[in-house]
Structure 1
Amino acid sequence: MLNRQAILRLASKRWTSTVQRADYKLNSEALPKNATVFSMIQPTGCFHLGNYLGATRAWTDLCELKKSGQELIFGVADLHAITVPKPDAKMFRKFRHEAVASILAVGVDPEKASIIYQSAIPQHSELHWLLSTLASMGFLNRMTQWKSKSNIKQSENKEYQIDDTEVGKVKLGLFSYPVLQAADILLYKSTHVPVGDDQSQHLELTRHLADKFNSTYKTDFFPKPITMLAQTKKVLSLSSPEKKMSKSDPNHDSVIFLNDEPKTIQKKIRRALTDSISDRFYYDPVERPGVSNLINIVSGIQRRSIGDVVEDVSRFNNYKDFKDFVSEVVIEELREPRTEFEKYGNEPDYLHSVVESGMRKAQEKAAKNLSNIHRIMGF
């Protein structure tokens, strides 16, 4: 897996690179002509701040910049979601509904982007199987997500301590999750994939499988998609800043949701875990992870460098003023998405029509590409 320095070196090469670090605000040159952008998010209900800054705000930027000849496909990764079983079908349907409402609430324009449910386009699953015949167990075994989601312990040097008994309990779907993700991307011959840092390893596998298919069948059918890494660093839990912000956190004070009321946001940030240094505020993610997380949130929202934000907050000499400032920034940023989420949540027929329209366009491309894949493979 690429480390951060390697990723930044690659990003400087722009389009000749397979990894690029997005600017705080994408400009009109962010995508070449005829680019196909693909990205999805799991249906965990209303988006939280980490979803927004780490992935989906870039979708909105891309909609604003879209030119003729470019294609945007954004979706709800409901097949990925069941790699951790979802026995409550009613709640699962609700989460899918809320994911689409969230996508629209953050500003994704359904006139410019196709919004889809992954499960409604069967070619995703079929290409998953075809690519799985090219994916080695060794490569998949190096993936970290199935280990973290299986609660396999890490040593002090961050190496996973794999026990045969624990591995024996891992579900096949979770283990092969990255192959399905590769199928999602390659099905549309995607050229660019906006993701957070934690997905860069999976994109490495996607490019490997594209190369493997092309070399095996002596073709250049699949392009090597570029990883568009979000500029904002990973948003962390407010109460446990050693881990990322997640809806699955049992402590909901750790998570800021798009539909949180201003008073709720203010309360959560006031309760955010920080440290005993209360008269100065600076960025040090090792020694001051809680403070650094709040600075990172402001940096992401304001689309400004960490250094610029640190200069702003250096004027504060107590936690109340510092946290009130962070609260104000977050509240203002989420004011419109909160209102829009509530509106779309009450319009199920409209949400259905958006997804139906998006899936018709995506299905046409998926069917055409899979037909060509069948031909190349000899089916």
Structure 2
Amino acid sequence: MIKKRVFSGIQPTGNIHLGNYLGAVKNWVDSQDEFDNIFCIVNSHAITIKQDPALLRAKTYELAAVLLACGIDMKKSKLFIQSEVDEHAALAWILDCNIPMGDMSRMTQFKDKSQKNPKNINIGLFNYPALMAADILLYQTDFVPVGEDQKQHLELTRDVAERFNRDYGETFKIPEPMIPKMGARIMGLDDPTKKMSKSEGKPNHGIALLDTPDEILKKFKKATTDSENLVRFNPEQIGIFNLLTIYQIFTGHSQEVIEAEFEGKGYGIFKVAVAEAVIEGLKPIQERYAKLTKEQGYLEEVLSHGASEVRKIAQKTYKEVKERVGLI
């Protein structure tokens, strides 16, 4: 049986955090036997915001090491750097020529990022969704794991693929969204009304996967909760619900077991328990990461192999697209 193909991308900016891991990467790892997975470090997307070149390069390799440490298996999946496959940018241009300005103007992420970076509102930031669409469509993707904040971009991808197929003939597979049932939306520890984000600069906002045990414990102890002092899976207790979600994923315990475990106990005890579960869960990842970062040659070899594997697929799709629009 031919496996369905999944495409996922992650930017090499900031520090990969618990929200990235529980909302995306852990699901990538767990699905490797079920799907034909292509994982992309989307460094071309990163430069829509000014980057220090040396830091971007270092963060790209750091992210690759973290993903491998989390369990991405190159025998089961493909991992590569976006800029190493030229067809991404080339296809994005053709898609740009087939996306109405009105569709792009409605993208909420452009508006949000423009407000955060008013001095750097560039064309790349505006065209970001076209490059994202190219990332996905190049590989004839069946499913794209997306959070709520990326659903609009995937809808645009589906729209442009359907329009292209209508105008030029069947070319692209129409991708479907894949939203994880658990952990899809991990919130900030300091403000549980906001999704945990790499771009949030506050020190107690999120847990980085490479944080030390002391840093993790300190951040969880300061996590925002409420005055009810009841550890229960009540979505209205947004701070506690967020911590419970994290605890449940790391322990694998049911809601009933967890609520019984902390019945009559205060938030202080609960927060320490969450921290200890996270510290223990991240320990093997951090140990593998430490080994991988000592093997730069191995990382380069892995990423080069991944790029050569996916390039075959990308070239085939791009060649067909060029023929369809009359470029060759």
TM-score, structure 2 as length reference: 0.92
Contact 2:262 2:270 in 1 (8 A): no
In structure 2, the residue matched to 1:334 is 282
- What 5-or-longer segments of structure 2 have no aligned partner? none
- For 2:268, the equivalent position in structure 1 comes to 320
RMSD: 2.1
Quote how far apart the aligned CAs of 1:95 are.
Answer: 0.7
Equivalent position of 2:13 in the other structure? 44
**Which residue is 2:111 aligned to?**
147
Instruction: Give the gaps of 5 or more residues in structure 1.
Output: 1-31, 153-165
How many residue pairs end up in the alignment? 326
- Structure 1 residue 366 and structure 2 residue 314: aligned? yes
1:171 match: 122
Aligned partner letter, 1:82: I
Is the contact between residue 74 and residue 113 of structure 1 (CA under 8 Å) also seen in structure 2? yes
Contact 2:231 2:262 in 1 (8 A): yes
Q: Residue 193 of structure 2: SS of its match in structure 1?
A: coil
Q: Please give the secondary structure, in 2, of the residue aligned with 1:369.
A: helix
1:91 corresponds in structure 2 to 55
Q: Quick one: percent identity of the two aligned structures?
A: 39
Residues 313, 322 of structure 1: 8 Å contact kept = no
- Partners of 2:102 and 2:39 lie apart in 1 by 30
What is the CA distance between 1:285 and its match in structure 2? 4.2
Look up the match of 2:247: 298
- Contact between 1:46 and 1:102, CA under 8 Å: does it hold in 2? no
Q: Note the C-alpha offset of 1:313.
A: 5.4
8 A Cα contact 1:281 1:313, kept in partner: no
Distance (whole Å) between structure 2 residues aligned to residue 130 and residue 189 of structure 1? 16
Q: Does 1:246 align with 2:197?
A: yes
TM-score, length-scaled by structure 1: 0.81
Indicate conservation of the 8 Å contact 2:210/2:286, yes or no: yes
Deviation at 1:312, TM superposition (A): 4.1
- Where do 1:181-196 residues align within 5 Å? 181-196=132-147
Per-residue deviation, residues 331-357 of structure 1 (Å, max 9, x unmatched): 222121111112112211111000000
Quote the Cα distance in structure 2 between the aligned partners of 1:58 and 1:291: 23
Q: Does 1:131 align with 2:80?
A: no
* Residue 42 (structure 2) aligns with: 77
CA contact (8 A) 1:124 1:187 kept: yes
SS where residue 227 of structure 1 aligns? Answer: strand
Q: 1:304 offset after TM fit, Å?
A: 6.0
Task: Judge conservation of contact 2:87–2:315 (CA < 8 Å) in 1.
Answer: yes
Q: Distance in 2 between matches of 1:281 and 1:77?
A: 39
Q: Is the 8 A contact 1:283 1:310 kept in 2?
A: no
Looking at structure 2, the residues matched to 203 and 302 of structure 1 have their Cα atoms a distance apart, in angstroms, of 32
What residue in structure 2 maps to residue 227 of structure 1? Answer: 177
Shift of 1:114: 1.4
- Shifted more, 195-204 versus 353-362: the winner is 195-204
Cα distance, 1:316–1:346 mapped onto 2, change above 3 Å: farther
Q: Deviations over 1:105-142 (max 9, x none)?
A: 11000122111111111100011010111111222222
Q: Give the deviation of 1:149 after TM superposition.
A: 1.5
| Alpha carbons 2:187, 2:195 under 8 Å: kept | yes
Change (3 A) 1:377 1:341: same
Q: Distance in 2 between matches of 1:309 and 1:207?
A: 42
Q: 1: distance between equivalents of 2:274 and 2:132?
A: 35
Give the Cα–Cα distance (whole angstroms) in 2 for the partners of residues 39 and 46 of structure 1.
18
Q: What secondary structure does 1:333 align onto?
A: helix
Q: Are the equivalent residues in 2 in contact too, given 1:298–1:309 (CA < 8 A)?
A: no
Which of residues 296, 314, 322 is equivalent to 1:348?
A: 296
Q: Which of 192, 201, 205 in structure 1 is aligned with 2:156?
A: 205
Q: Distance in 2 between the 1:355 and 1:281 partners?
A: 44
Q: Secondary structure at the match of 1:258?
A: coil
